[in-house]
Structure 1
Amino acid sequence: MHKYVTVQDLINTLDMEIVYGHEFASNKIISSEVSRPGLILSGFKEFYPSERIQLIGRTEISYLNSQTSRERMEKFRSICREDTPAIVVARKIDTPPELVYVAHEMKVPIISARSKTSRVLANLTNFLEGKLAERFSKHGVFLEVFGMGVLLTGTSGVGKSETALELIQRGHRLIADDRVEFYMIDELTLMGEAPEILQNLLEIRGLGIVDVMSLYGVSAIVRSKKLEVIIEMVLDTGQIEYDRLGSGREYDRIFDVQIPRIRIPVKTGRNLAAIIEAAAMNFRANEMGFDATETFNNKLDALILSNREAENDG
């Protein structure tokens, strides 16, 4: 079964309104792509994606105004099909009466948007991509730490939610606990959010379910965030070796996006919230070109070279 959103869902979220065809607000939108029907209006009728929302802007209206009423009627019939979910007219442009007639005939609602056409296109695409994109669920706690999307993973009982609670108390924000839904918005970007039933909630062993927004306010939560780094919390049994210098970066692949992963050993007495803060800041510094490991290696190389020169001089 296809994922879909309704025209009413679109109206409820974006700054738009149905100007004609309120009775068709339950029409289903199954494609995240939006069509600018300029080619078909000009007479090219092959490969017309009629199942998409059709967006009409000033360019299309200017062209149509040069046509006779009969010609406009024919052209609007070419873009209003049985599977067309809606027609969106940008810039609050007055809707041509011929479009109203044909849209009513084909049971297609007409939506008016106030923004310029390129902005309307971006808003529609972003909304539909978020709602209709393929999703991947992953176990963990997703947080915004210093503005970065950080996913805490690890075996059950390792302390992910408790660490998340301390991070929230330090001023960071919760996105999702237990199950995180990820979706791609482009080839390099993964967004994550909580399933609707789990929004704002954090489960703490021995305490139960905590409503983070009720306890800490709206500033303690965020609905969605780009995933930038995964921090894997691993119980320190003394049997696992860790990268002490941080020179070997590991990755996890979600869909086709590679996400950097950092492994942090967990044992009694470690302040995990502070370590995760430091890991997030260090990762951001590395992304900006400041690499502490490289600096250390350069200093070490210089020290070794200096000692060799001193031995040769001696």
Structure 2
Amino acid sequence: MNKISVEDLVQQFSLKVLAGQDHLQKSITQPRVHRPGLEFVGHFDFFPTERIQILGRKEINFLHKQTKEERKIRIGNIVHYHPPCFIVTTGEDGLTYLRHHCNEEGIPLLVTEIPETTSEYITKLDTYLINKLAEETFIHGVCLNVFGMGILLRGDSGVGKSETAHTLIGRGHRLVADDIVKLKKLSPQTLLGTHDEKTKEFLALRSIGLINVVRSYGLKAFQNETRISLDIKLTRWQKDSLNNELEQHPEFKEYLGVKVPSIEIQLQPGRDVAGLIEAAANNWYLRQQGYSAASDFMNRIEEEGT
């Protein structure tokens, strides 16, 4: 399970620490935050205790209107569950009582210093947490962004993945990762491809060696991450094994429980593999829009026969 510390959060978002300074190494393991509401009135049946607790204007105004004894009860009920931290988005005025509870229970109390609405902050924080805490795995291959779509290139060592990627970069597409591709599961349907930092911007070409695509071709040649749309396996040419049907039956490759459409492209001297990958990307996009070239073709045949 991936995790980050409260201190990581403080540094990433430039948060001010009001209480619990000695407990900033507490772990955060849940990818979404929680904004307590029902918990303040004693309903804890579905309280996500392992999530960051966000206190916005509504929550702080509600607490300010309570008597000292009522606040003690309502806040005490929540801190009793020891969430990883509280983040207040309305400034630090009048939070003495909250500091006291957080110091007593060893819970970091943080305050945002950049003016923005609570909903905007929650969206930004959720996005960061989902990315950082996502389940991940590594595969051997190349990841590219082709026409705005994330493409995974797989195949045996030496089959020509990196050389094909180099050709695609020359045609204006972008490298994301070469050799080691990190895959992150952002949701049951969303897979993100990125690099492992060490190989960032590098492409390894046989007979040439390592090249830095940004130094060689400019910033447009590299992209930090991309949502994976298509998996392509490059294989060596096998005579009479190619399928010539009008439309291929959909096949899928599964990563971290996410199914990705997958096709196979065979390599042969003189075959424009980069062009075929571009065609596959365009074809996938059209299918997402509901268009099938094979169906369009058959409709024309039927119309001609009537």
Structure 1 pair 111/218, CA: closer, same or farther in 2 (3 Å)?
Answer: farther
Structure 1 residue 23, shift from structure 2 partner: 4.6
Over aligned residue pairs, what C-alpha RMSD do you find?
Answer: 2.3
1:18 aligns with 2:19: no
Structure 1 residue 228, shift from structure 2 partner: 0.7
**Corresponding residue of 1:111:** 110
Contact 2:232 2:262 in 1 (8 A): yes
Equivalence map 1:1-314=2 (5 Å)? 2-14=1-13, 16-21=14-19, 22-81=21-80, 83-92=82-91, 94=93, 96-113=95-112, 114-303=115-304, 305=305
Q: 2:195, 2:94 → 1: CA distance?
A: 39
Task: For residue 215 of structure 1, give the secondary structure of its aligned residue in structure 2.
Answer: helix
Structure 1 pair 150/80, CA: closer, same or farther in 2 (3 Å)?
Answer: same
Q: 2:156, 2:302 → 1: CA distance?
A: 39
TM-score, length basis structure 2: 0.89
Structure 1 residue 81, shift from structure 2 partner: 4.8
Contact 2:18 2:111 in 1 (8 A): no
Q: 1:222, 1:93 → 2: CA distance?
A: 39
Task: For residue 197 of structure 1, give the secondary structure of its aligned residue in structure 2.
Answer: coil
Q: Deviations over 1:147-198 (max 9, x none)?
A: 1111111222111111111212222111111222222222221112112322
Q: 2:221, 2:80 → 1: CA distance?
A: 46
Structure 1 pair 211/12, CA: closer, same or farther in 2 (3 Å)?
Answer: farther
Q: 2:50, 2:287 → 1: CA distance?
A: 45
Contact 2:18 2:99 in 1 (8 A): yes
TM-score, length basis structure 1: 0.87
Structure 1 pair 45/300, CA: closer, same or farther in 2 (3 Å)?
Answer: closer
Instruction: Name the stretch that deviates more: 159-168 or 109-118.
Output: 109-118
How many residues are aligned here? 303
State the identity as a percent: 34
Q: Deviations over 1:5-51 (max 9, x none)?
A: 0123223434x412424554332212223222222222224453332
Q: Deviations over 1:257-283 (max 9, x none)?
A: 221112222110122222212221122
Gaps of 5+ in 1: 307-314
Specify the code of the residue in structure 2 equivalent to 1:214: R
Q: 2:90, 2:274 → 1: CA distance?
A: 48
Contact 1:82 1:107 in 2 (8 A): no
Structure 1 residue 4, shift from structure 2 partner: 1.1
Q: 1:280, 1:187 → 2: CA distance?
A: 22
Contact 2:144 2:177 in 1 (8 A): yes
Q: 1:95, 1:145 → 2: CA distance?
A: 53
Structure 1 pair 246/138, CA: closer, same or farther in 2 (3 Å)?
Answer: farther
Q: 1:35, 1:160 → 2: CA distance?
A: 44
Structure 1 pair 210/81, CA: closer, same or farther in 2 (3 Å)?
Answer: farther
Structure 1 residue 243, shift from structure 2 partner: 4.0
Runs of 4+ in 1 over 4 A off after TM superposition: none
Task: For residue 15 of structure 2, give the secondary structure of its aligned residue in structure 1.
Answer: strand
Task: For residue 135 of structure 1, give the secondary structure of its aligned residue in structure 2.
Answer: strand
Specify the code of the residue in structure 1 equivalent to 2:85: A
